[in-house]
Amino acid sequence: MQCFHCAREVKETTHTPKGYRVDYYLLHTGRTEWTFLKDPKDDLLPLRYLRLTQPVDIISCADCYAKPQIKKRLEDDFNGWKSFFDEKQIEGSEKNSIPRSDHG
Protein backbone atom coordinates (compact mmCIF):
# COMPACT_ATOMS: atom_id res chain seq x y z
CA MET A 1 0.00 0.00 0.00
CA GLN A 2 1.13 3.51 -0.72
CA CYS A 3 0.32 6.90 0.68
CA PHE A 4 -2.06 8.80 -1.56
CA HIS A 5 -0.15 12.04 -1.07
CA CYS A 6 3.55 11.23 -1.01
CA ALA A 7 3.41 7.68 -2.36
CA ARG A 8 5.57 6.26 0.34
CA GLU A 9 5.04 2.70 1.45
CA VAL A 10 2.84 2.41 4.49
CA LYS A 11 2.88 -0.44 6.97
CA GLU A 12 0.08 -2.19 8.70
CA THR A 13 -0.70 -1.07 12.20
CA THR A 14 1.84 -2.70 14.46
CA HIS A 15 1.10 -3.65 18.01
CA THR A 16 3.69 -3.03 20.64
CA PRO A 17 3.80 -3.93 24.33
CA LYS A 18 2.79 -0.36 25.11
CA GLY A 19 -0.01 -0.13 22.59
CA TYR A 20 0.04 0.15 18.88
CA ARG A 21 1.64 2.24 16.22
CA VAL A 22 -0.45 3.55 13.38
CA ASP A 23 1.42 4.17 10.18
CA TYR A 24 -1.45 5.29 8.01
CA TYR A 25 -5.01 6.51 8.07
CA LEU A 26 -7.71 5.31 5.76
CA LEU A 27 -10.49 7.51 4.50
CA HIS A 28 -13.30 5.77 2.73
CA THR A 29 -14.65 8.30 0.32
CA GLY A 30 -15.18 8.63 -3.36
CA ARG A 31 -16.51 10.70 -6.15
CA THR A 32 -20.02 11.88 -5.66
CA GLU A 33 -22.64 13.43 -7.85
CA TRP A 34 -25.90 15.17 -7.18
CA THR A 35 -28.90 13.00 -7.94
CA PHE A 36 -32.54 13.96 -8.00
CA LEU A 37 -35.04 11.67 -6.44
CA LYS A 38 -38.50 12.25 -7.78
CA ASP A 39 -41.60 10.76 -6.33
CA PRO A 40 -44.33 10.69 -8.97
CA LYS A 41 -47.08 10.21 -6.41
CA ASP A 42 -46.60 13.45 -4.59
CA ASP A 43 -46.22 16.93 -5.83
CA LEU A 44 -43.24 17.53 -3.68
CA LEU A 45 -40.04 19.10 -4.69
CA PRO A 46 -37.56 16.56 -5.95
CA LEU A 47 -35.17 15.46 -3.30
CA ARG A 48 -31.59 16.09 -4.02
CA TYR A 49 -28.89 13.97 -2.52
CA LEU A 50 -25.27 13.15 -3.03
CA ARG A 51 -24.75 9.72 -4.45
CA LEU A 52 -21.46 7.94 -4.22
CA THR A 53 -20.54 7.01 -7.75
CA GLN A 54 -17.00 5.82 -7.38
CA PRO A 55 -15.78 4.65 -4.00
CA VAL A 56 -12.17 5.38 -3.28
CA ASP A 57 -10.05 4.56 -0.29
CA ILE A 58 -7.53 7.25 0.44
CA ILE A 59 -4.50 6.15 2.38
CA SER A 60 -2.66 8.87 4.26
CA CYS A 61 0.60 8.03 5.92
CA ALA A 62 1.16 9.33 9.42
CA ASP A 63 3.55 11.96 8.10
CA CYS A 64 1.05 13.42 5.65
CA TYR A 65 -1.79 13.14 8.12
CA ALA A 66 0.22 15.37 10.44
CA LYS A 67 0.17 18.13 7.85
CA PRO A 68 -2.63 20.58 8.64
CA GLN A 69 -3.71 21.16 5.05
CA ILE A 70 -4.04 17.46 4.32
CA LYS A 71 -5.72 16.68 7.59
CA LYS A 72 -8.21 19.46 6.98
CA ARG A 73 -9.15 18.12 3.57
CA LEU A 74 -9.61 14.65 4.99
CA GLU A 75 -11.71 15.94 7.85
CA ASP A 76 -13.82 18.09 5.57
CA ASP A 77 -14.60 15.06 3.46
CA PHE A 78 -15.23 12.91 6.50
CA ASN A 79 -17.69 15.47 7.83
CA GLY A 80 -19.39 15.76 4.49
CA TRP A 81 -18.56 19.43 4.09
CA LYS A 82 -16.43 19.21 1.03
CA SER A 83 -15.52 16.26 -1.09
CA PHE A 84 -11.89 15.34 -1.22
CA PHE A 85 -12.24 15.28 -4.97
CA ASP A 86 -13.78 18.69 -5.35
CA GLU A 87 -10.53 19.96 -6.69
CA LYS A 88 -10.00 18.12 -9.90
CA GLN A 89 -6.66 16.62 -9.17
CA ILE A 90 -6.84 13.05 -10.32
CA GLU A 91 -8.71 13.43 -13.56
CA GLY A 92 -6.26 11.02 -15.07
CA SER A 93 -4.13 12.16 -17.96
CA GLU A 94 -3.31 15.69 -17.11
CA LYS A 95 -1.37 17.34 -19.84
CA ASN A 96 1.65 19.45 -19.17
CA SER A 97 1.04 21.62 -22.19
CA ILE A 98 -1.15 24.18 -20.53
CA PRO A 99 -1.24 27.32 -22.64
CA ARG A 100 0.19 30.19 -20.71
CA SER A 101 -0.50 33.83 -21.17
CA ASP A 102 2.20 35.63 -19.34
CA HIS A 103 1.93 38.68 -21.49
CA GLY A 104 -1.59 39.63 -20.69
Of 8, 5, 11, 6, give the one whose Cα is nearest residue 23.
11
Number of C-alpha atoms within 13 angstroms, CB side, residue 41?
0
CA distance 11 to 23: 6
User: What's the CA gap between 85 and 103, in Å, rounded?
Assistant: 32
Q: Is residue 5 a contact residue for Zn ion (CB under 5 A)? A: yes
Select from 1, 6, 47, 50 the one that contacts Zn ion (CB under 5 A): 6
Integer Cα distance of 92 and 85 in angstroms: 12
Q: Tell the smallest beta-carbon distance from residue 35 to Zn ion (Å).
A: 33
Piece of 2-10, 27-35, 48-56, 75-83 that binds Zn ion (CB under 5 A): 2-10
Please list every residue from 37 through 96 that binds Zn ion, using CB under 5 A.
61, 64
Closest separation between CB of residue 8 and Zn ion, Å? Answer: 5
How many Cβ atoms sit within 10 Å of the Cβ of residue 71? 14
In whole angstroms, the minimum distance from the beta carbon of 66 to Zn ion comes to: 9
CB 22, min distance to Zn ion, A: 13
Contact residues toward Zn ion (CB under 5 A) are 3, 5-6, 61, 64
